[in-house]
A and B are shown apart, each in its own frame.
Chain A
Amino acid sequence: MATKKMALIATKGTLDMAYPPFILASTAAALGWDVQIFFTFYGLQLLRKSLDDIKISPLANPAMPMPVPMPVFVQMLPGMESMATMMMKNKMKSKGVASLQELRDICLESDVKFVACQMTVDLFEFKTSEFIEGIEYGGAATFMKFAGESDVCLFI
């Protein structure tokens, strides 16, 4: 049986949206799949050396379960984002959900290939020194080469 392939595009940099690419990639790798993730726009934040600044916001996110109902003007107050992030991380920890760092490490250990979108790296004026080692830099053509041969291809 030929090795299956999965190509992902990670475009989001919030805590909730950082999970799906890392969960799918680590799982597919455990199943023996060949996996590549193309990080573009806000998804580039997931390649930073430290993932501590990845946050979740209750603002403009009416589906987020809150312990107490909170009006939008309260959600706008300084510190609310950090508080929501802390609460979410604590909840995840108590439920045995892996940290982003742990999932990313598993991906790297299991040879998931990370590709950073060169155009958005330049657009946001990121320095490659801000990102983890062992990633590649490329464009749409790089992604299409792998995606064209993939069995599963998702935009996240």
Chain B
Amino acid sequence: MEFNKEFDASGLSCPLPIVKTKKALSTMTSGQVLRVISTDPGSVCDMAAFAEQTGNDLLEQGSENSKFVFYLKKA
């Protein structure tokens, strides 16, 4: 999937993947896609909860090279 920006949260624990994802999104414009990479298993549920509460669309999530990958479309 195409994306405009990438944020690598590998090695970070709660709440940093979410808090820093929010920070990364704040530098983007509406409709742009952010790709987030994380190694925190908790971020799977957290990212969905973040997307639901902030209105940013979680387009896709999966895993690559035993890391978690998320695509968020900025609201």
Where the two chains meet, the residues of A that have a C-beta atom closer than 8 Å to any C-beta of B are 23, 26-27, 29-32, 95-98, 103, 106
Which residues, 1 to 60 on B, are CB-close (under 8 Å) to A? Answer: 11-16, 18-19, 21-23, 39-40, 50, 53-54
The answer to whether B53 and A98 touch across the interface, beta carbons within 8 angstroms, is: no
CB distance from B11 to the nearest CB of A (A): 4
The answer to whether A31 and B54 touch across the interface, beta carbons within 8 angstroms, is: yes
The answer to whether B13 and A96 touch across the interface, beta carbons within 8 angstroms, is: yes
A27→B42 CA distance, assembly (Å)? 14
The answer to whether A26 and B13 touch across the interface, beta carbons within 8 angstroms, is: no
The answer to whether B15 and A23 touch across the interface, beta carbons within 8 angstroms, is: yes
Where the two chains meet, the residues of B that have a C-beta atom closer than 8 Å to any C-beta of A are 11-16, 18-19, 21-23, 39-40, 50, 53-54
- A–B complex contacts, Cβ < 8 Å, 28 sampled: A23-B15, A26-B19, A27-B18, A27-B19, A29-B19, A30-B18, A30-B19, A30-B21, A30-B22, A30-B23, A30-B50, A31-B22, A31-B53, A31-B54, A32-B53, A32-B54, A95-B13, A96-B12, A96-B13, A96-B16, A96-B40, A97-B13, A98-B12, A98-B13, A98-B15, A98-B16, A103-B15, A106-B19
A103 contacts across to B, CB distance below 8 A: 15
Shortest Cβ distance from B50 into A: residue: A31
Count, A-B residue pairs, CB within 8 A: 35
Shortest Cβ distance from A31 into B: residue: B53
7 nearest A-B pairs in the assembled complex, by CB-CB distance: A30-B22, A27-B15, A96-B11, A96-B13, A30-B19, A97-B13, A96-B12
**Inter-chain pairs besides A32-B53, A98-B13, 17 sampled, C-beta below 8 Å:** A26-B15, A26-B19, A27-B15, A27-B18, A27-B19, A29-B19, A30-B19, A30-B21, A32-B54, A96-B11, A96-B12, A96-B16, A96-B39, A96-B40, A97-B13, A98-B12, A98-B16
CB distance from B47 to the nearest CB of A (A): 12
CB distance from A109 to the nearest CB of B (A): 9
A98 contacts across to B, CB distance below 8 A: 12-13, 15-16
A95 contacts across to B, CB distance below 8 A: 13
Residue among B11, B15, B50 with the most chain A CB within 10 A?
B15
Contact of A30 among B12, B15, B39, B40 (CB under 8 A): B15
